[in-house]
Structure formats: structure tokens, C-alpha cells
Amino acid sequence: MTPLTQINAEITTHPAGDLLTSEEVSLARRELRRKKLIALALVIPLLIFLFFTFVAPIGTMLYRSVYNPTVAELIPQTLSSLESWDGQGMPDKAVMSQMAADMKRLANLRKSGKLAESINRYLPGTSSVIKSTARKLRRKDDQKIISQGAEFLLAANDKWSQPEIWQALIKAGKVYTDGYFLTALDLERNDAGDIQQRTSTQIYIKLYAKTLRMALIITFMCLLLGYPLAYYLANAPSKTANMLMILVLLPFWTSLLVRTTAWIAMLQTNGVINSLLTSLHVISSPLEMLYTEFSTIIAMTHILLPFMILPLYSVMKGIDPSLMRAAMSMGAKPPSAFISVYFPNTLPGLSAGALLVFIISVGYYITPALVGGTDGQMISNIIAFHMQQSNNWGLAAALGSLLLVLILTLYWVYDRFVGASNIKLG
């Protein structure tokens, strides 16, 4: 029950409620509403600020994952004349001439490359067809294109006589598409329009699985390293614990890029660890540690370890040491006392830390990008790749939307079991 409904209930069910006149009851309610509004008024500026700086941008990304205006904006007239085509055989000559006119216009605007790139995603191999045809059409007379555009197209390239390219135009011309999501899920539509597994390349599902696997390994490593340290700190004299806690918090406060730089310096072929091992004659030739999955996992474990230690430490601090003593006085050996008494009591901190580490590592970008090489890449890195290098923003948005759904589900679990406001900052 929220405080408000509680108070409302109190007003109506209170023994004195019968003694209050209806005016007094409504007065009390009005007072309550006023307080509620004051509290809300303090939060609203921030909500508005966050809406414009954070929520709306993410909404735009979600929208981008189904919104595909490029082709529709480039060849609007061709697309509207293609509506009359039944998809069987070849479209009318008028449609083809319209396409020729659109392409001439685009060629003069230097936008045919954009069209070629977009259509190519739907029918691989089309890019060169469109570019070469557009080049040939550029110098043709407008009047002639209207009358003989279809002939020009067919003369420029055989592909224009196949229905596939026209079907691809229609597909690419849809303003709203599920195509990006299908690609992101390694699916495709067959000729009959049914969804099936993509036959050519299957990369994204594998990448999601790999990301989850790496996040699990990192979480487990953090647990393995964090648990004994948190236990030691929680049971050490408070002076010692406070001093040592600084050693935990210092890396937590140190810039992420500084820590990543440090790992590069240590793991490089000619780096600190390799020189040390060579000079101690443990190895004869340097190990290749940087730019692998291993380096991503070790650097991320290091970066996320404090997120595991802090909640574990604060839970362990609250466990009464006499519990263990009681168990042992009843005859339990330390290991079994630990397993059946102490460990269950640490589960809240353990799950809070593990969930947080897992959530953060699933969406991590910087460290894999810098130390991951090719096989340490995670899903965020492929999203960045599609944003910056392949310029396939729709696909980036679809991959991002799937990642967002995953993260929000985990966040919901976290909020339910731990409470979002219980994130430990030191």
C-alpha cells in the first residue's frame, strides 16, 4: 500500500472518522493532495529534462529500427507507380521509364550511390547495376527518357529485365519495415513471404550468445574473486577494513580508460607480464594475450569487481558473527557451518552484485573495443560498427532495441529483488 492510499484509508476507517464532518474529511484530503503535488512538483523538472535528453533519444532509436525512409524519399514516383504492378512478370513500360527518370535525377544530385547501397541490402549484387545504369542515364535527354526510358534501362543492364530487382525496389521502398529486426535475429523472408532462418550468414544470434557467455564468465570471475575479499574485509578489524577498502575504491574511482590502458600495457606482446615471465625464464617466447577474448574478460573482471565487492561487503557486515559460532558450538564443522548458515545469509548481496555485474557487462563497449581484437568483440561493438562504419543505422537500431529489451528485463528483475535505489556507490 502506498502511503497515500494508507492515509486515505485511515481517514475513512479511523474510529474518529464518524466524528468528523464531511467538510473536515475533504479538508484532510485536500491537504494530502497538496502535499502530493508539492512532492511531484519537485520531481517534474527532472522528468522533463530526462525526457528530452534521454528518453526521447532512446525512443528515436526504437523508431529507427522499423523506420526506413531512405528509398521512399529517393524514388517516390517510381514506388507509387509500382503500386499498380501485381508483382508477376514485368512491370509496365511506364513504370520503368519513371524509374529511369528518377535515376537520372538522382545521378545529377549525386545520390544514386545511396540508392544503390540501400537496394543492395535487399538484393545483393544490385549496387553496381544501379550505379552503372545511373551513370549511363545522366546524359540522356529528359524527353527521350519519358518516351524510351524502359529501353534505356534494358539496354544498360540485363538485370532490369528480371522481376527480382523490381520486387527488391518495392521491399526497400516500404517506409516501415520489420527487415532490420529479421536481420538482427538472423531471419529472412523467402519468396513466398514467410519468415525463415537466414540461409547465408548467421552471425547475430551467435554474437548475442557469445556476449551472454562472456558476461556470465565475467560475473562468475567477479564472484570468485570478490567473495573471499568481501568476507575478509567484513570480518577484519574496522580500522584495517577501512584502509583496505580504499584499495577497492581507488580502482573503482579511477577512469575506465586509465584501467584499460593499464591492461594494454601489461598484456602487450612486449608488455609488463611478458617481459617479467621472459626474464624469469618461465616462457621463451612472449604470449599473445592482448586482443583476445581472454584479455577482454580479465580487463572487464578487473573493472567490474568493485560492483560485486561493495554489495557483498555491506551484506556480510550485517551478519551476526555469533551465528557461525552458534552453528559450530552445535557441532558443525566450519565448512558445513559456512555452507548452511553463512552462505545463505550472503545471498542478497551476492545476487545484487552478480546481477549488476551481469547487466553492466552485457552492454559493455569500450573495453572490448580496445583490448578485444576480433574475437573479444561483444554485441555493443557490432552496433557501433553499424553506426559508424557500415552506416546501416536501421540494423544498428534493431540490434540496439533487442539489447535494450534484454537489459530492461534484467533491470526489472534487479529492481524487484534488490531495489534500484540500493545500488552501492562505496
Partner 1 sequence: MKQEFPGYYTFWHKLGAYSLKFSAWLVLFFLIMPILVILPLSFNVEPYFTFTPGMVRLDPDAYSLRWYEAIVENDNWMLAIKNSFIVGIFATILATFFGTLAAVGLSSQYMPYKRLIMALLLSPMIVPLIIVAAGMFFFYTKFNLAGTYTGLIIAHAALGIPFVIITVTATLSGFDRSLYFAGLSMGSSPLKTFRDVVVPLIRPGVISGAMFAFVTSFDEVVLVLFLAGPGQRTIPRQMFSGLREQINPTILAVASLLILISILFLLTLEYLRRRSERLRGLEHIN
Those residues whose C-beta lies under 8 Å from the C-beta of residue 252, and which sit 6 or more positions away, are: 306, 426
Cβ atoms of 360 and 214 closer than 8 Å: no
Closest to partner 1 by CB, 121 or 302: 302
Residue where the block lists cell 611478458: 274
CB atoms within 10 A of CB 371: 25
Stretch 153-182 residues interacting with partner 1 (CB under 8 A): none
Q: How far is the CB of 279 from partner 1 (least distance, A)?
A: 9
Closest to partner 1 by CB, 37 or 195: 37
Query: Of these, 134, 297, 397, 418, which contacts partner 1 (CB under 8 A)?
Result: 397
Chain mean position to CA 269: 32
Closest to partner 1 by CB, 162 or 329: 329
Q: Give the containing element (helix H, strand E) for 83.
A: none
User: How far is it, in rounded angstroms, from Cα 199 to Cα 319?
Assistant: 56
Query: Of these, 81, 120, 268, 296, which contacts partner 1 (CB under 8 A)?
Result: 268
By CB under 8 A, residue 275 contacts partner 1: yes
Stretch 193-232 residues interacting with partner 1 (CB under 8 A): 225-226, 228-229, 231-232
| 135-142 CB contacts, 8 Å cutoff, 24+ apart | 135/107, 137/100, 137/103, 137/104, 137/107, 138/104, 138/107, 138/108, 140/100, 140/104, 142/101, 142/104
From residue 287 to residue 326, the character string flagging contacts with partner 1 as x (rule: CB under 8 A) and all else as - is ---------------x--xx--------------------
By CB under 8 A, residue 400 contacts partner 1: yes
Stretch 36-75 residues interacting with partner 1 (CB under 8 A): 36, 38-43, 45-47, 49-50, 52-54, 56-61, 64
User: How far is it, in rounded angstroms, from Cα 174 to Cα 69?
Assistant: 8
Closest to partner 1 by CB, 75 or 184: 184
Q: How far is the CB of 80 from partner 1 (least distance, A)?
A: 26
Q: How far is the CB of 282 from partner 1 (least distance, A)?
A: 16
CA angle 359, 226, 362 (to 5 degrees): 15
Stretch 245-264 residues interacting with partner 1 (CB under 8 A): 246-251, 253-264
Stretch 119-138 residues interacting with partner 1 (CB under 8 A): none
Q: Which three cell numbers, joined as nine digits, stand for 49? A: 529534462
Closest to partner 1 by CB, 58 or 94: 58
Closest to partner 1 by CB, 334 or 344: 334
Query: Of these, 2, 88, 143, 322, which contacts partner 1 (CB under 8 A)?
Result: 2
DSSP 420: G
Cβ atoms of 388 and 194 closer than 8 Å: no
User: How far is it, in rounded angstroms, from Cα 231 to Cα 316?
Assistant: 7
Q: Which three cell numbers, joined as nine digits, stand for 57? A: 533519444
- Stretch of 125-133, 190-198, 315-323, 365-373 lying at the interface with partner 1 (CB under 8 A): 365-373
User: How far is it, in rounded angstroms, from Cα 57 to Cα 178?
Assistant: 20
Closest to partner 1 by CB, 147 or 391: 391
DSSP 201: -
